[in-house]
A and B are shown apart, each in its own frame.
Chain A
Amino acid sequence: MAKREKIREKSGERFKQFQLEILIVFAAIILIVTAFLDYIILDKSGRAMRQTVSSLIAANSRQLELNINSYLDRMQTVPTLLFSDESFYLYDATDDSIDEYDKVKSEEVIKDRIVDIGLMENYADFGIIYADDHKVGWISHGTQDLFPEGGMYDAFAKYIVNPKKNDGWCFGINGNTDRMYYIKRLNPNAILVSSAYTKELASVFIYPEQLDEMNIRLVDSDNTIMFSETSEEIGEKLPEAIANELEANKVNAKFADMSSSIISEDYIINSNVCGNDWRVICSVPTKIILEENLKLRSFTLRVSMGMAILFVFIGLFLITRLSRPVDGMVTTLQEKAEIDKLSGVMNRGTFQETVEMRLQLPMDNRIIVYVMLDMDNFKQVNDKLGHSHGDQVIIRVGNLLRSIYNSETIIGRIGGDEFALYSECIDVDKAEVVDVTKEQMDYVLEQFHDEFVIERDKCGVSISAGVFVTDKSDITFKELYEKADGALYKSKQAGKSQYTLIEG
């Protein structure tokens, strides 16, 4: 009965395990499908978000471009007011034919004009430099100190690159990075130089709501940073990663110098070209944009996992509730399938399957004892005492074997009157196992002899056995069977009611 109970338990466990596996697989499918859908949806929303943010940055960058253009236009427009009267722009301080008094008076007039037109701007410099480096107006000490050896006029004049307007911009002259210069030619020997501190651009580069780690920079045509909110960057080159992205995407643009928006794995970059070829570059690491998206993704995955786990628990509960009747039915059916109904031990198929499973388990120092028992003259019982008695004998043999061997020994009925036993010992000397097995076999034969007195007297019933003891680790069921069967044959040949033990 204990064996039957154990088999019932075992079959129930297997069924539950099967149900759990189904449930887990199903939950995993739900999780994977949810995760996949999440990935698709969130990836799509991430792309849309990047696109939207890029568009917003582009719109704001365009505004910054307009701001800087307006600022630069103002710086360019004010000097043109010097062209309102010839006395301002045609005066040539290098002309030796002009009387000294006239020079003083002319320069006073020009100085007054410069003061008047430059009154409302924050200029660092606003003055005229003549070909001999003579200056009129506000040419600051800072600018003069950049040219300790002279040559100020020539140094600035070379930045006049616009042939139509006769003007130009420069930044970083002689290593100076705190101001940007605008230069305009007044006459062949005079240029107007005005400058403003790049710090002034802070009031131009106002970004309404700025993203974390977003950088707004103004760079000249050499990618030298003229303005950045990180003031230490001013005068440095644009970070390589951003410059490379811009360079790499140049080929994709219809025009290399046009304003463009770039969305790459690392950055969202917006480059806007100003009126004088300087560029406003807004860049923000893509990960910052997707941070919220990633948080949402993580949240959704957690929710999906939670739901999957919840589903498993609810499923388990429901299965438990719904499958109890089915469970009992399945257990009974399984028992019927695995247990020989007469002897109460395993049927042949189950026995073989169980033994093969044990043999597949990798074990060191294992001694296997395989016994085959065959009743002698059992046919006489059926013939003389009837099949019903024969069945009773089989039942009694099963009971006898189960009472002799403990639960560690696998017992099976492998034929009409044939039984097989499988047991294993670990870390025991083989000789010792052989000795114990012999004692056991003697005991089995003795118990058999005592049990079946009537049957022996009337029908000559006894029992023969073949025992195979082996320490081979890679032995198969077939080999075991054949060896034990060979030993059984020897017992039969030797006169029955005995056992033969062979080692392998």
Chain B
Amino acid sequence: MRGNRRRSIFVLFLMIVLAVGAVIAIIRISRAGESGEVVTNRQNETKIQMSWWGNDARHAYTMEGVDVFQEKNPDIEVSYRYGEWNGYEKRTKVWMESHTEADVMQINYAWLEEYSHDGTGFYDLNELSDYIDLDNFTDEEKGYGIKNGKLNALPIAMNTHTFYYNQDLLDKYGLEVPKTWDDLYRLGREAAKDNKYAIGISKKQLFLLMIAYYEQNYGKNVFNKDGTLAIDEDGLAFILEFYKKMLDEHVLCPVDTFDRANYMSGGIVGTMCWISDTKIYCDGLAETGAKVSRGSFPKLTGAKLSGWYIKPATMWAISAGTEHPEEAAILLNYLLNDPDMAKLQQTEKGVPVSDAAVEALNEEGLSKTNEYMAVSEMNENIDEMNLMIPSMENESIIDAFKSGADEYIFDKMTVEECAKATCKAMRDVIENMEQ
């Protein structure tokens, strides 16, 4: 009897335990998520920004590259600003002067002097060598980005001018690829018969072409090494007359009406462009079915200066005021040295300087690209080429030249008046910059 009683008590106890357990479980389930319980926890990513200029293709692959970067670095969120080259210098000026520039910036070689004369305008990349593989660059290559002993930027590729011609049109006119200025005039005369032009170029290329012609003729530089104007009014008058003659003889398509579409459709025989623009002007023309030939930089027999310059195509830099230098450095290293990025970028910015990027591209037949062949030619002539002076690319100086030149081209001034006014305008811009 006593055993049965114990057993009954045990069963009763068991049932009470089960009932209490069930009630507690129900209460816990019903109250889940209440009373300030943390149900999600999101770790904030480090947000950085990058900026670049370029064409559609560059925008597309860079954005794709950023996606790949974020997959590799989920803790870093990258936003971007981008735009076309025209106006981009102005945009950059606004950012730099208002201290709102992106953390990682694609910069022009000329901007090093403009924004970091003493080396403090951009972050010293040497301090971030734990994140950036600097061994992919020679001292000479790094030297392009050093200001006042500080490594402000690293070059993406080296750049110079090259010429591309529509070989079908040259064949039609029975001419060889132009090698001299006279060859260009000969081509202009033939092209004029079809109401075409020998070459079409942008405003900046026009300025650099004029500099080359002047320097070859005079054996003097247009700019001093400190960026000030070395050319005088007579020299500028010489350039203006040459410019007008080229227009009049259909050697040069008027800059304001130059249209890539016109070049593609055969309205213009050739063009002068950066090696980094090969995709647009060489490959682009070839895609229309035309045969394309690369031309040489025009030379004057007996010239003391070649007037032919070299520069880093574009460079990557980090904002001096970035709040996230390590993350910015990781992104910069990716943009320069990562094989995936190199394969996305290909040779759109020219043949890369980074050894790691070159190695990645070699696997994809880098040596067969038009950019590679153009760079090879550049390297063959490297001895007669000089490093570009930043003033040569300064948009304000170029605008002053173009605007002034228009007064002569459209017969609003005599060549002397125009040379005097233009010279003054250019000097004023340089003085303003120095101030």
Contact = CB atoms under 8 A, between A and B. Distances in A.
13 contacts: A101-B406, A104-B406, A111-B86, A116-B90, A118-B87, A122-B80, A122-B82, A138-B83, A138-B87, A140-B55, A197-B63, A209-B42, A296-B29
Interface stretch (A314-322, A470-478, A482-490): A314-322
A383 interface: no
B301 interface: no
Interface string B38-66: 00101000000000000111011001000
Contact of A140 (B56, B63, B410): B56
A142 B56 contact: yes
Interface residues of B, number: 39
A105 interface: yes
B56 A310 contact: no
B20 interface: no
Contacts of B83: 118, 122-123, 138
A120 B100 CA distance: 11
B28 interface: no
A107 interface: yes
Interface string A190-217: 0000000101000100000100000000
B40 A209 contact: yes
A124 B86 CA distance: 12
B11 interface: yes
Contacts of B57: 142
Contacts of B59: 124, 197
B304 interface: no
B96 interface: no
Contacts of B261: 144
Most buried by A among B18, B59, B94: B59
Contacts of B260: 141, 144
Nearest to A108: B403
B81 interface: yes
Given A101-B412, A124-B59, A321-B8, A138 B91 contact: no
B410 A100 contact: yes
A116 B89 CA distance: 11
Nearest to A103: B256
B15 interface: yes
Contacts of A436: none
Interface residues on A, range: 35 or more
A37 interface: no
B127 to A, nearest CB: 30
B15 A314 contact: yes
Which are the 6 A-B pairs with shortest beta-carbon distances? A115-B87, A142-B56, A101-B410, A138-B84, A104-B256, A119-B91
A178 interface: yes
B4 interface: yes
- Please indicate which of the listed interface residues A114, A122, A209 has the most CB atoms of chain B within 10 Å of its own CB: A122
B86 A115 contact: yes
B84 A140 contact: yes
A178 B60 CA distance: 9
A78 interface: no
Contacts of A124: 56, 59
A132 B387 CA distance: 42
Contact of B90 (A115, A140, A199): A115
Interface in A84-137: 100-101, 103-105, 107-108, 111, 114-116, 118-120, 122-124, 135
Interface string B243-265: 00000000000001001110000
B284 to A, nearest CB: 8
B280 interface: yes
B225 interface: no
A123 B83 CA distance: 6
B119 to A, nearest CB: 28
A432 B417 CA distance: 147
A104 B86 contact: no
Contacts of B84: 123, 138, 140
Contacts of A101: 406, 410, 412
A105 B87 CA distance: 17
B4 A321 contact: yes
B99 interface: no
Contacts of A103: 256
Given A108-B403, A140-B56, 15 more contacts: A104-B406, A114-B87, A120-B91, A122-B82, A138-B83, A138-B87, A140-B55, A140-B84, A141-B55, A141-B56, A141-B284, A209-B40, A209-B42, A296-B29, A321-B4
A228 to B, nearest CB: 14
A141 B410 contact: no
A307 interface: yes
Interface string A129-167: 000000100101110100000000000000000000000
Contact of B87 (A119, A122, A303): A119
B201 to A, nearest CB: 16
A266 to B, nearest CB: 27
A103 B90 CA distance: 23
B22 interface: yes
A106 B378 CA distance: 39
A310 B259 CA distance: 87
Contacts of A318: 11
A173 B284 CA distance: 21
Listed residue (A104, A138, A318) with the most chain B CB atoms within 10 angstroms of its CB: A104
Contacts of A119: 87, 90-91, 94
Contacts of A100: 410
A7 B29 CA distance: 53
A284 to B, nearest CB: 17
Nearest to B18: A310
A321 B5 CA distance: 10
A266 B214 CA distance: 75
B101 to A, nearest CB: 13
B102 to A, nearest CB: 12
B7 interface: yes
Which of A141, A144, A303 has most chain B Cβ within 10 Å? A141
A114 B83 CA distance: 13
Contacts of A307: 22
Contacts of A123: 83-84
B7 A321 contact: yes
A105 to B, nearest CB: 7
B22 A105 contact: no
B79 interface: yes
B410 A104 contact: yes
Nearest to A135: B259
B256 A107 contact: yes
A145 to B, nearest CB: 8
A297 to B, nearest CB: 12
Contacts of B15: 314
Contact of B11 (A114, A116, A122, A317): A317
Contacts of B29: 296
A158 B80 CA distance: 32
A317 B7 CA distance: 10
A460 B59 CA distance: 128
A128 to B, nearest CB: 14
A100 B94 CA distance: 33
Interface in A306-352: 307, 310, 314, 317-318, 321
Nearest to B402: A108
Contacts of B412: 101
A122 B62 CA distance: 14
Interface string A175-194: 00010000000000000000
A178 B57 CA distance: 11
A101 B413 CA distance: 12
Contacts of B7: 321
